[in-house]
A = this chain, B = another copy of it.
Amino acid sequence: MAQTDFSVGIGGAAGQGVATPGTLLAKLFVRRGLHINAYNAYQSIIRGGHTFLTIRTGEAPVRCMGDELEMLIPLNQDTMDRHVRRMRPGSAVLFDGGKVKPEGAADGVQLCPLPLAQLAKSPLHYNTAAVAAVLRLVGVECRPFEEMLAEQFERKGDAVVAENVAVARAGYEYAGAHFRPYPFALPDTGKPLAVATGNECLAMGGVAAGVKFYCAYPMSPSTGVLMWMARHARQLGIMVRQVEDEIAVINMAIGAAHTGCRAMCATSGGGFALMTEALGAAAMMEIPVVCINVQRAGPATGVPTKTEQGDLWQVLGAGQGDYPRLIAAPISIADCFHTIPQIFNLADRFQCPGIVLADLLESEGFSSLDPAELDFNPPRDRGELIGLDGSPVPSGEGYERYRQTESGVAPRALPGTPGHAHVVATDEHDERGVLISDEFTDPHKRQAIMERRQRKMDGALPLIDPPRVAGAADAEVTLVGWGSTWGVIAEAVEKLEREGIRANHLQVKWMVPLHVEAIQQALAKARKIVIVENNYSGQFARYLRSETGLVADAHIRKYDGEPFLPHHVVEGVRKVLAGKTKKYVPVHEIRV
């Protein structure tokens, strides 16, 4: 039997609560052990405008929101008008029959008007009725939903629970009586999954890394990390602080990191810009600190609620001068979780800042996760530390914080450790931490120190998995992406395969250090390289060329604030293979 692949889109004005039915459905799906991937195309606006949430589910892992909807739930007329024409025969449109009029639906699209005012006494319960109706149409029993409502309203007393359950049943029954269910039923795999947003994964990744100090200044689309951290601070023993600005954020994190805490912060591009000076300072003082930049559409304030991969050059050029830094772009929501402990281990080991380059697609999207994969005690490498509680403290005789070593790394004594007092400085300094800038400048020393610091990255590279090509070795076309586009490109590759176009796929996660040779080898035999990225100028393509000399044959780019859908990539590849273009920019179907 074919695998289930079911997508539902819920749209309305901001403030209409698109998220509520979305969250309910997501939970119901994952509790059945179904995978999901969801994306909420929302806006800064508090009320009005147009937001649209897509949830896609199936037995197999779902890597992106996909191209098509099996079900549309327009909460207002505007959503109906924008989207109904895109619904294919066999799909269904579920709406408040008393409020929204369907017009322009294709033949074979089932129109399902729910008489919400009849089914529920209060508009507060409309979502409940609608969700129940969805369940009926996808052949899922109502009981799990009733249980969920019971959990949710437990604290409000039996009457409230009963009322909600009654509305659910009414919606369920009405749908059974009046609408035609889909020809398939959503299965229950028997292995319940978890669901989380990318922001939650980043926060939980911090927990898994052992973060003890988190500070931030709110900035969409990274604020979710702060809010998760704040909610769990006391339970998990994490110091969480919102402070005056992003400059304070990064500097406080550096201060806490210097005392020995694993310290983390998150922001978006504008806040990151303000942190760049301090990241260089962390590198100079050799203090490991992790900073997450959740990219949104720029430049400047830009489009705060829209996605983009537009900050690669910003992080590559963050701060003056050359200094060692780690930069990783997680390739999925789940990878947001795993990337944090990974980068902390490297940052601790090489005593330098780590930058995580996520984006709104990941941070505000949500995905199913296998709970078994959420390892909250992954391997932790603190690097060479002196004075960490419990560890034996040497005498300190002759201790040099910045000793010249082959690896470039020297042991880091934590403040408070007897016998190891030293100064860490943002001015250039010698082995003991004494300034050479003010005291006495010596070009030979300076040269050796620069080389030592930079040398650290040589040690980091072998600890990072090299990117590998997925798919057929003899593909006609190799799609290259970085960071969050992994899922959509992977799906595009499958779609192309179905169209008879053999494609394979290289996704790069670690920007610095970059596996130059591995990438060169991986792409050496590629017949046509097409780089896919969510920005205007081809930031990754240009960076890849700068480091590896690889010149792509063509590019697929998007910079309209919305993420790629698989068919954008497919169409781009088709155009490229047909020789029609070397740069394809898809036109986004208005969903928002």
Shortest CB–CB separation between residue A428 and chain B, in angstroms?
Answer: 5
| A539 proximity list for chain B (CB < 8 A) | 322
Asked if A310 meets B301 with Cβ closer than 8 Å, knowing A441-B43, A536-B454, A546-B546, the reply is no
User: Are A320 and B549 in contact (CB-based, < 8 A)?
Assistant: no
Nearest residue, chain B, Cβ from A551: B549
Say if the beta carbon of A397 comes within 8 Å of chain B.
no
Quick one: which of B269, B277, B316, B428 contacts A321, CB cutoff 8 A? B269
Flag A526-561 by CB within 8 Å of B: 1 or 0 each: 000000000111010011011101010000000111
**Which of A86-94, A134-142, A376-384, A583-591 is the interface stretch?**
A583-591
User: Are B537 and A322 in contact (CB-based, < 8 A)?
Assistant: yes
User: Are A295 and B273 in contact (CB-based, < 8 A)?
Assistant: no
User: Are A446 and B43 in contact (CB-based, < 8 A)?
Assistant: no
Say if the beta carbon of A284 comes within 8 Å of chain B.
yes
Say if the beta carbon of A475 comes within 8 Å of chain B.
no
Quick one: which of B284, B313, B549, B560 contacts A545, CB cutoff 8 A? B549
Q: Which of A310, A317, A425, A590 has the most CB of B within 10 A?
A: A317
Say if the beta carbon of A303 comes within 8 Å of chain B.
yes
User: Are A319 and B305 in contact (CB-based, < 8 A)?
Assistant: no
Flag A276-306 by CB within 8 Å of B: 1 or 0 each: 1100110111000000000101111111111
**Which of A95-103, A365-373, A432-440 is the interface stretch?**
A432-440
- Number of copies of chain A assembled together: 2
User: Are B305 and A321 in contact (CB-based, < 8 A)?
Assistant: no
User: Are A272 and B322 in contact (CB-based, < 8 A)?
Assistant: no
User: Are A298 and B323 in contact (CB-based, < 8 A)?
Assistant: yes
Bound together, the chains give a CA A546 to CA B310 distance in angstroms of 16
Bound together, the chains give a CA A268 to CA B319 distance in angstroms of 11
Nearest residue, chain B, Cβ from A591: B443
User: Are A447 and B559 in contact (CB-based, < 8 A)?
Assistant: yes
Say if the beta carbon of A592 comes within 8 Å of chain B.
yes
Quick one: which of B280, B295, B298, B560 contacts A443, CB cutoff 8 A? B560
Asked if A440 meets B585 with Cβ closer than 8 Å, knowing A280-B299, A298-B319, A323-B299, the reply is no
Q: Which of A304, A437, A547 has the most CB of B within 10 A?
A: A437
**Which of A27-35, A44-52, A162-170, A233-241 is the interface stretch?**
A44-52
Say if the beta carbon of A148 comes within 8 Å of chain B.
no
Quick one: which of B300, B310, B590 contacts A442, CB cutoff 8 A? B590
| A273 proximity list for chain B (CB < 8 A) | 276-277, 280, 318-320
Interface size on A, residues (CB 8 A): 82
User: Are A301 and B318 in contact (CB-based, < 8 A)?
Assistant: no
Shortest CB–CB separation between residue A408 and chain B, in angstroms?
Answer: 13
Say if the beta carbon of A517 comes within 8 Å of chain B.
no
Bound together, the chains give a CA A313 to CA B283 distance in angstroms of 16
Quick one: which of B43, B302, B547, B592 contacts A320, CB cutoff 8 A? B302
Say if the beta carbon of A362 comes within 8 Å of chain B.
no
Nearest residue, chain B, Cβ from A447: B560
Asked if A450 meets B322 with Cβ closer than 8 Å, knowing A300-B426, A305-B441, A437-B305, the reply is no
Say if the beta carbon of A335 comes within 8 Å of chain B.
no
Shortest CB–CB separation between residue A524 and chain B, in angstroms?
Answer: 16
Interface pairs (29), CB distance under 8 Å: A44-B427, A44-B438, A45-B438, A268-B320, A269-B319, A273-B277, A276-B314, A281-B301, A299-B323, A300-B426, A301-B425, A301-B426, A301-B428, A303-B436, A303-B446, A310-B322, A311-B321, A313-B317, A315-B317, A322-B539, A441-B561, A443-B561, A444-B560, A444-B588, A446-B560, A447-B588, A454-B536, A542-B546, A545-B549
Closest 3 A-B residue pairs measured CB to CB?
A298-B321, A269-B320, A317-B317
New A-B pairs, 12, CB < 8 Å, besides A43-B440, A446-B559: A44-B437, A268-B320, A270-B277, A270-B320, A298-B322, A300-B426, A301-B427, A303-B428, A303-B446, A447-B560, A545-B546, A549-B551
